[in-house]
Structures are given as structure tokens and as C-alpha cells.
Chain A
Amino acid sequence: MNDIEVEKITKRFGEFTAVDEVSFTVAHGELFGLLGPNGAGKSTLIRMLTTLTAPTSGAARVLGHDVVRAANEVRRSIGVIPQAMTSDVELSAEENMVIFARLYGVPKDRRKRVIRDLLGAVQLADWADKPVRTFSGGMRRRLEIARGLVHEPKIFFLDEPTTGLDPVSRVAVWEMLERLKRERDLTILITTHYLEEADKLCNRVAIVDHGKLVALDSPMTLKASIPGNNVLEVSFSSVPEGWIETLRQLPDVQSVSATDHVFRIASNNGPITTVNLFEAARRNSISVSSLSVQSTTLDDVFVHYTGRQLRDRAQENPRYDVSFMYNRQ
């Protein structure tokens, strides 16, 4: 039995379909990623799996328990880190942990040890009695990860765990997640819109766009599945008639697209295509203004399956933007 089983799960808000018949499974011990831009339906999907919202149709089971009919059994066996920072800033790190330990019914005789061990695991042992308002964003997120594990769940859900963190803190959270997964035999499902995060952390990645699951496999397999494992981004001093067709004829070129005078060429052999590109430009009396060559990324995968880049999507505003009221946020 898989730890998580999702069958054609759908969520509608009035006329709007946020999640549209998504199906997938997550095996035990896997670190599974839901990758997509803001508004793709990732958070809605994870909220259904964590019993925060009921699906409109379809079904999902977590450790064999239906998320609607056996919601409390699901809650007992999962840890959840919502996207918003949910730790109480007025309380200390230890107090936050104690409250959640009590909510999950962690026996009193084990509570202290579990909390001490977890705070040590997330490198916050020295900050146990400090108020959370003094923590950085990364520290606060680490505390919430520790808090989510206080009842020793088998499945851990994290909704955009590194959003808003600086690069150093983000890497620290990644390393911590990988270590915790190893040490505690966890199954982890994360949602993210960071390509590097999905690429680095996840055993498998499901790409979600407009509520639909458009691709699912390991990052390596996904990247290998699209034509061309190198991507050249090049711009020219001028663009003669039929230039895009000329580029398509170059050896090893799989596909060419153009956006704002920048040509994006997927090739099986980046160096060879580079030489041929310069030669073609010389023959047509044009010069190369800029050139970059990189290996295929998940962004390329996203472009391949959705027709646009993941990194270009604008941030959507939350329903109630109250950030102006809270200087601490």
C-alpha cells in the first residue's frame, strides 16, 4: 500500500476549478514534490490531503485513511507545515512545542525528551527559551518543522517550506529535511514553486498547472523526457527573414522558440550547436549579441509541458493581505 493515494481529486470554488481530477500515489519513504507556479492548485491539493478542506469530488487516502471519512485518523498520523508561519511569536520555542505536544497527546513522560531531541535536530536547542519573535525566518521555519514532528508522524506535508527565506536559510532547511527524512524514515510531500528545490530534494516531482497534473516522474527522467538536454539562449544583432527556420536546420537542434528577441534552442549537443550557430551567423553577416548554454532544467520541462516558463509567473495576492499590519512578518 502506498502512503498517499490520490484518485481524481477535484476542488471547485463556485465556477472556478482549483484542482482538476488529479491522481497520483506516494510510496513510503519518498520525498515527493508538487511543482507549479502560484495559483496552480498546489496548496489547495495539499489542504485536501491534510483535511483542511474537503474535496468536491474524488478521493484521497493517507496511510489507508480516507481524508474525509476518517479525517481525525489522518490528522493523528501526519505532520503539517502550512505555507503561512503558524508559530506563536509571543511564546518561546519550547512553549510552542509543548502546546503542540499536548494537542497531539504526546505522553507527559516522553514530552520533554522528544522536544529536546527535536530542537537539537533543527539546531534550535540553544534558543529553546527565547521568544519566537526574536527568530529569523529560517529559524522560525525550522521550529515549525520540529513542531510538526513532535508526535512522530510517518508522513510530513510541507506547503512551500522555504518561501520567503534567504538562500542560506533555504539551503539549511533542505539539508535538515533530507537528514530528518533519513533519520526518521519519513514520507514527505512538499509543494514548491522553486525549481532548484524540487530538483535537489525530490525523488519524484509532479508538475501542476491550472489545477491539472501535467507531468510526473523523477527530476532526471523529466529532464531527459524533453527533446534536447542542453538549452542555448542567444540573441543576435539583427534577425534576417526565416532565421528561426535556419536555426532549426542546425545539426542536433531539437526545437527553437523565440521570446523578446531571445532565441531558446534545445539541443542534444550544446558545444556543437554553439559552433554551428556562430558559423550560421557569420554566413548571414550577423553577430551574436549574447549567448548562454545550460543543461536542461525543470523550468525547461515546465515550458515543454505548459508552453511558458515557471519563473515568469507573477505572485498572486492572498485573499486578505494583512502584511501591512504586521511589521514582524
Chain B
Amino acid sequence: MTTPENEPARPTGPRPSVFLERQSYRRRRLADAARMLPFVGAGLICIPLLWPDPGPENSGVPLSSAILYVFSCWAALIVVSLLFGFAARRMSSSEGSAAESEQWPR
């Protein structure tokens, strides 16, 4: 039996490798989401094409609804892009500190 004093000093705190992996994993998935965004946007923009053409007696989709839809989608894309921008900034600024903790303490 070894006493606690005889145990070799282990690095304390979370294992940096696991921590880093999760961090970079998150970052990569975030980048994936950012890559997907334009395709989502393109899909949203194409949806109005499925709307029915105006019939003879003022049927069809009123222009005000179309405006609401298009501008809402647009605004949503902007907001999501803004969030991605902030996330990317946080990621890139935490990159430096993550790189420092990559090494085991000596």
C-alpha cells in the first residue's frame, strides 16, 4: 500500500486534451452550421415560388404577406448570422487561452 504522500504528483484540474477536444468539436460544428446557413436561406427564399399565382378574382397571396414573409426570413438570417459572428469571435478569442492550457503543468 502506498500512502498518499508517495503517490506521484498527478496533474490537477480537467484533462486539457478532453477539454480541448470538446472545444474544437464545438467549433467545428458551429462552422458546419455557419456553412449550412446560406443553403437554409436559399431554401427560405425559394418557398414563395410555391405560392399560387393570382387568380382572376383577386385570390392568391397578398403582397403584404409576401413582404412580411420575405423580410422576416431576411431578418432571421441576419440575426442568426450575427449570432454566428459573435460565437466565432468568442471561439477565436478563447483559442489563445486554450492553446496555453494544452500543455501539462510541469
Q: Does B associate with A?
A: no
